[in-house]
Amino acid sequence: MPAPGAEPPPAAPRHTVGDLVALSTQHLTARGVASPRLDAELVVAEGLGLGRLDLYTGPERPVTPAERDAVRALLARRARHEPMAYILGRKGFRRLELAVTPDVLVPRPETELVVEWVVAHAPPGARVLDWGTGSGAIALALADERPDLAVTAVDVSEAALSVARANAARRRDGAADVDFVRSDGFAALAGTTFDLVVANPPYLSDAELAAAPPELAFEPAGALTAGPRGDEALARLCADVPAHLAPGGAVITEIGETQAAAVSQLMAQAGLTGIRVHRDLAGKPRAVSAVKQ
Ligand SMILES: C[S@@+](CC[C@H](N)C(=O)[O-])C[C@H]1O[C@@H](n2cnc3c(N)ncnc32)[C@H](O)[C@@H]1O
C-alpha cells in the first residue's frame, strides 16, 4: 500500500482491441507474412472469441492479460508461417465450412473450378468418384450442391479420411451421404465404374516445392507431390481412369499451370477424347477434362 500522500505506481498499459490488431499486423509484416492485416484480424478475433466485424465496431474495447496471451499464442504460430486454416482449424470451401488439420491439404479456391464443372455437367443421379479427397472438400461440396449424385471418395491416407468422415458427420443434416474408401488410386475399386471422376491429385515437382511459400511445409507431403517430376500421380490417374469410367463417362482433374499439354497428351494416350483445358479466373490453365467414348 503506498504511503499516505505518495504517488500510486503507474498502471500497466491496458491494450485495446485496436492496439492488438495494429501490433499484430506489425509483427506479421516483419515476419514476411503475405496478408498481415487480414491475418492479424483473424488471429485477434479468434483469440478473443469475437467475429471480425466486432474488431471494427469495438476497437476501444480493453483486452485482459489472459486474452492478450491467447492472441499471442496464435500470432506466434502464424509468424512461423503455419497456414491460417490450421490455426483456426477450419476453411471455407464452396458453401461449406470444413474442419482441417495438418493431415489434409488446405482446400484452395482454385479447386472450386472442378466442383463447378461437375455441378454443371453431371447427369442426374450420376455416380461420381472424388480421387484423393483429403478433407472431403470436393466430395462434400458435390453432395451439398447436387444431392442427387452418388458420391464415392477415396484417399490413400487413413488420417485424411478421418478428417473427411468427420466433415461429413458435421453436415447440417448429419447425413453421411458420401462413401469414403481407403484406396491407393483405384486399387480398392476393381470392377467399379463411375459416370464422372474428379480429382485434385498431388502435382508439384521437386523444383516447385523448393520454391513454394513456407506455408506449404506444414501441409502433408503426400498431398502436394507424388514424385520429383510432379506429374506422377496425374500419369497414373490418366492411365487407370478409363477402366473405371462407364461409356460416355468423363474425368476432370486439376493440374498445375504448366501441365496442360502433358496431361492432355496423357489423356489422349489413354484413349480418352473430347479433351478440354479449363482456365481459372486469372486465365491460367487449371484443369483438364476428357470423355470415354
Ligand atoms: C492435392 S490433395 C487434394 C485434397 C482435396 N481433394 C482438395 O482438393 O482439397 C491430394 C490428395 O490425394 C491423396 N493421394 C495422394 N496419392 C494418392 C493415391 N495414390 N491414391 C489415393 N489418394 C492419393 C492425398 O493423400 C491427398 O489427400
Domain boundaries, the chain: 17-80, 103-291
Mutation test residue for ligand 1: of 129, 133, 236, the one with most atoms within 8 Å of CB: 133
| pLDDT tens-digit series, residues 34-78 | 999 999 999 999 999 999 999 999 999 999 999 999 999 999 999
CA of 119 to the centre of ligand 1 (A): 20
- pLDDT-based confidence at residue 167 (cuts at 50, 70, 90): very high
Q: In what order do the strands lie in the sheet with 245-254?
A: 178-182, 150-155, 127-131, 194-199, 245-254, 285-291, 273-279
Phi, psi of 5 (to 5 degrees): 90, -15
| β partners of residue 254 | 287
Distance 169 CA to ligand 1 centre (A): 20
Which residues contact ligand 1 via a Cβ below 6 A?
Answer: 105, 107, 111, 132-135, 137-138, 154-157, 160, 183-185, 200-202, 222-223, 226, 233
Residue range 173-194: average pLDDT? Answer: 89
Question: pLDDT by residue (tens digit) across 114-144?
Answer: 999 999 999 999 999 999 999 999 999 999 9
Residue 175 has pLDDT above 60, yes or no: no
Ligand 1, atom 6: closest residue by C-alpha: 133
The count of other CB atoms within 10 Å of the CB of residue 266 is 22
CB atoms inside a 10 Å sphere around CB 135: 29
Q: What residue type is 81 in one-letter code?
A: H
Task: Give SS3 for 241.
Answer: helix
Q: How far is 159 from 245, CA to CA, in rounded Å?
A: 27
Using one digit for the tens of pLDDT, what is the confidence trace for 209-259? 999 999 999 999 999 999 999 999 999 999 999 999 999 999 999 999 999
Whole-number pLDDT of residue 170: 87
The atom of ligand 1 lying closest to the CA of 104 is 27
Q: Is the pLDDT of residue 151 over 60?
A: yes
Measured by CA distance, the residue closest to atom 4 of ligand 1 is 134
Tell me the CA–centroid distance for residue 199 and ligand 1, in Å. Answer: 8
Q: Is the pLDDT of residue 1 over 50?
A: no
pLDDT, tens digit, 9 for 90 and up, residues 269-283: 999 999 999 999 999
- What pTM was computed for the model? 0.93
Nearest CA to 257 among 291, 228, 280? 280
The fold of 17-80 is: Helicase, Ruva Protein; domain 3 (1.10.8)
What's the mean pLDDT in 26-41? 97
Q: Whose CA is nearest to atom 11 of ligand 1?
A: 132
Averaged pLDDT, 96-104: 97
86 and 101 Cβ atoms separated by less than 8 Å: yes
Please report the pLDDT score of residue 177 as a whole number: 85
- Contact (Cβ atoms closer than 8 angstroms) between residue 71 and residue 48: yes
For domain 103-291, give the fold.
Answer: Rossmann fold (3.40.50)
Q: What is the DSSP string of 55-93?
A: HHH-TT-B--HHHHHHHHHHHHHHHTT--HHHHHTEEEE
Four-CA torsion 53, 58, 62, 67, nearest 10 degrees: -10
